[in-house]
Amino acid sequence: MDEQRPFKKYRANCHCKAYVFEAELPETIDTGLVCNCSYCYKRGAIYQCPKSSDDISFVKGDPATLTCYSFGGVEHKFCPTCGNYLLRVDGTNTYVNLRIVQNFNTWDLPTQPIPNASPPPAWTPPKFTGTEPQVEIEGAKMYTGGCHCGAVTLAFKSKPIDETYDAPLIECDCSICCRQGYIWIYPSKRQVRTAGWENMGYYAFGRGVWRKTFCRTCGVPIQNHIEDYTPERLEAEVPEEHRQWAREHLEWSPLNLRMLEAVDLEGLRRKAKFTRVNGSTARGPFYENP
């Protein structure tokens, strides 16, 4: 960290607005910091570090009530309600996840490794032990993945997710997707089997039909879940103006590519396989930063 660079105050918050804080960070942030450990990879986190942890001041929410997940001697702190990842605490250094900084676009931000970071600890992906999806797909490959702590695992049957994949892989800049760093793939429910539903948190906003799921223990974002609504439940639980949209998406099971194993995200990016969607301006009501 360059002590001579001018700093300024940035405001950041989780999506549900339970936690809002201000941090003194470099006035010009032209490079983000990344950690290549297995947890930060699943989070897609991009950091900056203030000069001191005293340069982070919470204006709403008690930081002591953030959920803390420890891995390799590093504490990762996230909101227990919406799952947004706020802070990385490594010894005396506290890093801010730039994805939650207000009005800050990380899409094209160059990155470099965190200086003097310890080598990432070994980690073995938890095994999926449930029943694999039985859907027939020509030339299919079975992928597995899940959260970091192993409380949530899944199996996903798909055409190979490589340079030959011709269905959408989406990055969205809406208020929740930019904060969580999602890269979306859009299988049907028949292609996915999930174990550990009871260990997931659910967060809904907007229409309230989609619910973003994340592991309550480690916070890793998993999928975008829509209930198996019967016509009766749809009538009773979904506002009339959203019912047709819900009917059209009942069989969808969007997944966060970051939590899948054996998917080369950087290779896909180099091949320009990701489509960027400006969800932040696509339709209202629009999110208001606190």
- Mean pLDDT of the residues in the chain: 95
Average pLDDT over every residue of 61-83: 98
Where residue 3 falls among pLDDT bands split at 50, 70, 90? Answer: low
Question: H helices within the chain, ranges in order?
Answer: 38-43, 177-180, 231-237, 240-248, 265-270
**10 Å Cβ neighbour count for 284?**
7
User: Is 173 in contact with 279 (CB distance < 8 Å)?
Assistant: yes
DSSP 122-178: P--PPPP-SPPP----TT-EEEEEE-SSSSSEEEEEES--STT--S-EEEE-STTHH
pLDDT at res. 207: 76
Whole-prediction pTM value? 0.95
Tokens coding 178: 């930019």
Among candidate residues 51, 82, 52, 53, the one with its CA nearest the CA of residue 66: 82
CA pair distance 255, 80, nearest whole angstrom: 20
Tokens coding 45: 């986190």
CA distances from 97 to 94, 214, 231 (A): 10, 17, 41
157-181 confidence digits (pLDDT tens): 999 999 999 999 999 999 999 999 9
Residue 2 pLDDT exceeds 70: no
